[in-house]
């Protein structure tokens, strides 16, 4: 960090990982948006910046040369978000390494593939909606969001059989332990064991995979390993990136879609009359309930943002979910409005790292919305039970959405 730039910083007490912010991020909007970019000391003494304004987040996301995604080794705080055991993964790499990793699986996300997955999604959607019993309480996460994401993404798209998926769920369930680490702490035992189990499982699957068969992502990764494009540990990291990037986020958006559909019966009625509105409905769900709260970047040199200098080397907390509520970009930002003329939210990021799964997500979710709206016109929030949110340092999800149909 250049001394002259860092000397002038004024630090606030804002803690993007703090319970207070995670419990009620909206209450911070006005102050943080007005002050952005702001500075804070993280992990005791690491000068860090946050950016929350929409145009500032676009600037950071759109310029990887100034805002790198590569975590500086040994930077305190990074131990909390090192989900992939220090392996290079596309989300934490810059070009050209990023592009090499993204290319391995890119074809799985091409429009033709997404169309193929659409037929399978139709059958899953029908099955889930058929399972709902009118008059009985059900949950938007357990009964809709999660099984939808698991069946479409895990079973079919990734190609990991249902009976083996627990290996990855159990590994994912150890991530919260990272949140408790102090700088220098070793990785928790449970995390390391989970990683090893996953690695051993994949090694075996990939060794036996039919290299001619490119029907799912696992077989594509097997091909890449065969051709030497990826190392063994990169493969494990890649599967984890796709699983952790896709399953919790799509589950969460499934649950949130059910929440808003039940909350706004007038909008559900409009969707019954015009199914095309389900797309705009879902965009509003992604904008308002963006499951990824923030993404990390690191200033590669002194860089001007909003008239202030973010010094070289500074970790930059890019608050994409707050940018989605920036009143300079979205009129009445807290209003759920499916008629916005422009809804260029940042829920999927932007630029080099824009979510590789965004087209798949945008194929899946409108289907469940249309089917639920058509089949259960009396869908409503269960007045006897309240919803529950779950937060991690970088995500915020509804995990319980009690409903009646």
Query: Which residues, numbered 25-64, are part of the site for ligand HEM (CB under 6 A)?
Result: 61
Which of 36, 59, 223, 249 contacts ligand HEM by CB under 6 A?
A: 249
Three-class SS state of 46: strand
Sheet holding 138-139, edge to edge: 138-139, 402-404, 380-381
Q: Which residues share a beta bridge with 309?
A: 304
Comparing CB distances to ligand HEM, the nearer of 239 and 370 is: 239
**Structure tokens belonging to residue 153:** 């993404």
**253: contact with ligand HEM by CB under 6 A:** yes
Q: What is the DSSP string of 211-243?
A: TT--SSHHHHHHHHHHTTSS-HHHHHHHHHHHH
Minimum CB–partner distance for residue 67 and ligand HEM (Å): 10
Residue written as token pair 């999660």:
146
Comparing CB distances to ligand HEM, the nearer of 285 and 405 is: 285
Q: From residue 84 to residue 123, what is the string marking binding to ligand HEM with x (rule CB under 6 A)?
A: ------xx----------x---------------------
Residue written as token pair 């500075």:
39
b/e burial code for range 373-389 (CB count within 10 A of at least 16 → b): beebeebebbeeeebee
Cβ-based neighbours of 386, under 8 Å, separated by 6 or more: 402
**Rounded Cα distance, 176 and 172, in Å:** 8
Query: Which residues, numbered 153-192, are part of the site for ligand HEM (CB under 6 A)?
Result: 153
Q: Determine the interface stretch with ligand HEM among 44-52, 79-87, 219-227, 247-255 (rule: CB under 6 A).
A: 247-255
**250: contact with ligand HEM by CB under 6 A:** yes
Comparing CB distances to ligand HEM, the nearer of 222 and 364 is: 364
Cβ-based neighbours of 330, under 8 Å, separated by 6 or more: 54, 287, 324, 340, 343, 345
**Strand runs (DSSP E) across 122-216, as ranges?**
138-139
Q: Determine the interface stretch with ligand HEM among 33-41, 123-131, 243-251, 330-338 (rule: CB under 6 A).
A: 243-251
Output the residue with the shortest Cβ distance to ligand HEM: 357
Query: Which residues, numbered 274-313, are part of the site for ligand HEM (CB under 6 A)?
Result: 286, 290-292, 295
Among 81, 91, 3, smallest CA distance to 47 is for 3
Which of 25, 159, 246, 333 contacts ligand HEM by CB under 6 A?
A: 246
Query: Which residues, numbered 311-340, are part of the site for ligand HEM (CB under 6 A)?
Result: 320
Which of 33, 303, 355, 372 contacts ligand HEM by CB under 6 A?
A: 355
Which of 60, 206, 224, 241 contacts ligand HEM by CB under 6 A?
A: 241
Residue written as token pair 């993007």:
16
Which of 181, 202, 360, 369 contacts ligand HEM by CB under 6 A?
A: 360
Minimum CB–partner distance for residue 135 and ligand HEM (Å): 30
**357: contact with ligand HEM by CB under 6 A:** yes
Which of 121, 257, 329, 361 contacts ligand HEM by CB under 6 A?
A: 361
Q: How many CA atoms lie within 13 A of 135 on its CB side?
A: 0
The neighbour count for residue 63, using CB atoms within 10 Å, is 15
CB 5 within 8 A of CB 283: no
**251: contact with ligand HEM by CB under 6 A:** no
Q: How far, in Å, are 29, 45, 66, 80, 284 from residue 137 at the CA level?
A: 34, 49, 50, 37, 25
Three-class SS state of 15: coil
Q: Determine the interface stretch with ligand HEM among 2-10, 24-32, 190-198, 356-364 (rule: CB under 6 A).
A: 356-364
**Structure tokens belonging to residue 5:** 């730039």
**16: contact with ligand HEM by CB under 6 A:** no
Residues touching ligand HEM: how many (CB under 6 A)?
A: 28
**Rounded Cα distance, 277 and 281, in Å:** 6
Comparing CB distances to ligand HEM, the nearer of 313 and 357 is: 357
Q: What is the DSSP string of 321-340?
A: HHHTT-TTTSSSTTS--TT-
Q: Determine the interface stretch with ligand HEM among 20-28, 245-253, 260-268, 302-310 (rule: CB under 6 A).
A: 245-253
- Interface ranges with ligand HEM (CB under 6 A): 61, 69, 90-91, 102, 153, 241-242, 245-246, 249-250, 253, 286, 290-292, 295, 320, 347-349, 353, 355-357, 360-361
């Amino acid at each position: 960090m250049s001394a002259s730039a860092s000397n002038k910083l004024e630090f606030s007490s804002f803690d993007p990982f703090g319970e207070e912010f995670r419990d009620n991020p909206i209450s911070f909007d006005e102050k943080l948006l007005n002050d952005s970019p702001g500075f804070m000391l993280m992990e005791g003494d690491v000068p860090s910046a946050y950016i929350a304004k929409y145009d500032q987040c676009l600037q950071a996301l759109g310029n990887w040369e100034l805002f790198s995604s590569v975590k500086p080794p040994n930077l305190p705080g990074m131990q909390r978000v090192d989900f992939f055991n220090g392996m290079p993964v596309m989300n934490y790499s810059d070009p050209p390494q990023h592009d090499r990793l993204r290319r391995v699986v890119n074809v799985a996300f091409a429009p033709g593939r997404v169309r193929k997955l659409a037929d399978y999604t139709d059958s899953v959607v029908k099955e889930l909606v058929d399972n709902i019993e009118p008059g009985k309480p059900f949950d938007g996460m357990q009964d809709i969001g999660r099984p939808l994401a698991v069946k479409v993404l895990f079973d079919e798209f990734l190609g990991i059989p249902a009976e083996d998926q627990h290996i990855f769920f159990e590994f994912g369930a150890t991530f919260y332990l990272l949140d408790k680490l102090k700088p220098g702490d070793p990785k928790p035992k449970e995390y390391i064991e989970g990683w090893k189990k996953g690695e051993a499982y994949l090694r075996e699957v990939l060794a036996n995979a039919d290299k001619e068969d490119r029907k799912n992502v696992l077989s594509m990764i097997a091909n890449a390993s065969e051709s030497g494009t990826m190392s063994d540990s990169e493969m494990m990291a890649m599967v984890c990136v796709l699983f952790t990037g896709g399953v919790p986020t799509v589950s969460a958006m499934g649950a949130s879609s059910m929440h808003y559909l039940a909350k706004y019966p007038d909008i559900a009625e409009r969707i019954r009359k015009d199914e095309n509105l389900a797309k705009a409905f879902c965009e509003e769900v992604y904008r308002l309930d963006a499951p990824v709260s923030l993404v990390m970047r690191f200033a590669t040199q002194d860089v001007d943002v909003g008239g202030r200098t973010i010094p070289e080397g500074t970790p930059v907390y890019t608050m994409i979910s707050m940018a989605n509520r920036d009143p300079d970009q979205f009129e009445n930002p807290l209003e759920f409005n499916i008629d916005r003329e422009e809804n260029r939210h940042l829920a999927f990021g932007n630029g080099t790292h824009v979510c590789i799964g965004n087209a798949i997500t945008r194929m899946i979710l409108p289907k469940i919305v249309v089917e639920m709206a058509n089949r259960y016109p009396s869908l409503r929030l269960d007045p006897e039970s309240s919803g529950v949110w779950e937060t991690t340092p970088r995500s915020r999800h509804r995990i319980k959405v009690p409903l009646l149909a």
